[in-house]
Amino acid sequence: MSELFPDYKAPWEAEDHTLLRDQAAKFFAREVTPNQERWAEQHQVDRELWNKSGAAGLLCTGLPHEYGGGGGNFGHEAVVQEELALARDTAFGFSVHSTIVAHYIAAYATEAQKQRWIPAMANGEKVIGIAMTEPGTGSDLQAVRTTAIRDGDHYVINGSKTFISNATHADLMVVVAKTDTSEGARGISLFVVEVDKVEGYERGRVLQKVGQHGQDTRELTFIDMRVPAENLLGGKEGQGFFQLMEQLPRERLIIGIAGVAMAEAAVLEAIKYAKVRTAFGKPILDFQNTRFVLAECKTEVLAAKTFMDHCVQRYMDGDLDPATASMAKLLGTDKQVAIIDRCLQVFGGYGYLMEYPIAQMYAAARVQKIYGGTNEIMKELIGRSL
């Protein structure tokens, strides 16, 4: 149940979703919220957080029981993501692992690959990430320069990647590479690299970001990295671009959901602060301007939540189209940035101190409009559907 909207419940949220929400909220309050500053200082979460999350049943909730997943649907992943944001987390690469990349394995891997990788991903034994972006290639994936050349029963991969989430802890890394450099989209393939079993896989520097300081984001370099041919995702070359495109609605929707939930968390922080901070002899919530600002923010969060829930239902029904998923990402992240900015202003000078969660949320928010496809690209995709 939402603290800000106690009478609101998503139309798609069933009893098992609510039970999982409660479990996630308690887990994150205990294991995540108190550690934000420490994780920011060490530029990564504790490795055991993955194991604890798996043991609590919070990883891969939407993957089939037969492979060790939770056997749920997208709604189960959504409630966990919402509660993680409401816990004011800016460090845990949960969505990359559980909601996004795990589904590449579930959707496209061979049966043997699923049996090999999914159970360990679900229990937190193995962390997964995706190496997609390159120093000179962002959203234009057809222009990737990393190559994978077949050599007997292996592929030899060379190239470099940047902005890679979970890069420190990842045991499995999905690498986007060209298996045919003469082709564009049809020359792209995905490889699941078992990091501890290959040579030539090099982790570069930890990137110093504006926000999300506790998220282990790094550069990667592949130098004559020999990957077994059996690690080609799906077992067929040239399918990578289409695999990526098919999963984008899920990725963009979860980014939008996280954005709105983080905006909700910011409004809660601002309301609580405004009730105890005094100025001119009274709480600042008693000033009309403060009330008006927070009233607007609360209204916008609820409006955005209802749209996200509309999109979740459509995704669960199997008819969320790419344009509407782009709307979810665009709206959710735009509102996240704008609402957190207004809430930070309520804190005055204290809002500028990183020891306050509102400052951490403010610094972390801006990248949401960039990754998963920039919001400018979202507008282009929406525009093409007009």
Q: How confident is the model at residue 29 (pLDDT cuts 50, 70, 90)?
A: very high
Residue 141 is predicted with a pLDDT of: 75
Of 246, 252, 222, the closest CA to residue 233 belongs to 246
Residue 137 is predicted with a pLDDT of: 74
Q: What is the pTM of this model?
A: 0.95
Residue 183 is predicted with a pLDDT of: 84
Of 199, 193, 315, 196, the closest CA to residue 254 belongs to 315
Q: What is the mean pLDDT of the chain?
A: 95
pLDDT at residue 77 tops 70? yes
Top-confidence residue, 1 or 170:
170
Residue 138 is predicted with a pLDDT of: 64
Q: How far apart are CA 293 and CA 41, in angstroms?
A: 33
Give the pair of three-digit tokens for residue 16.
């098992």
Residue 16 is predicted with a pLDDT of: 97
Residue 185 is predicted with a pLDDT of: 85
CA distances from 351 to 38, 267, 339, 367, 376 (A): 19, 13, 14, 19, 29
CB atoms within 10 A of CB 152: 8
Q: What is the mean pLDDT of residues 53-72?
A: 95
Q: How far apart are CA 167 and CA 300, in angstroms?
A: 35
Whether the Cβ atoms of residue 175 and residue 204 lie closer than 8 Å to each other: no
Residue 182 is predicted with a pLDDT of: 86
pLDDT in tens, 178-204: 999 988 889 999 999 999 999 999 999
CB atoms within 10 A of CB 220: 25
Strands (E), the chain: 128-131, 147-151, 154-164, 172-178, 188-194, 201-206, 218-228, 278-279, 282-283
pLDDT at residue 92 tops 70? yes
Tokens 């920039």, located at residue: 374
Tokens 């801006």, located at residue: 366
pLDDT in tens, 93-140: 999 999 999 999 999 999 999 999 999 999 999 999 999 998 877 667
Residue 3 is predicted with a pLDDT of: 93
Q: How confident is the model at residue 254 (pLDDT cuts 50, 70, 90)?
A: very high
Angle between helices 357-365 and 240-276 (to 10 degrees): 150
pLDDT at residue 1 tops 90? no
Q: Which residues are catalytic?
A: 251
Q: Give just the sign of the alpha carbon dihedral 235, 241, 246, 250.
A: positive
Q: How far apart are CA 123 and CA 83, in angstroms?
A: 19
Helix and strand numbers, DSSP H then E, in the chain:
12, 9
Q: How far apart are CA 230 and CA 215, in angstroms?
A: 31
Q: How confident is the model at residue 142 (pLDDT cuts 50, 70, 90)?
A: confident
Q: How confident is the model at residue 372 (pLDDT cuts 50, 70, 90)?
A: confident
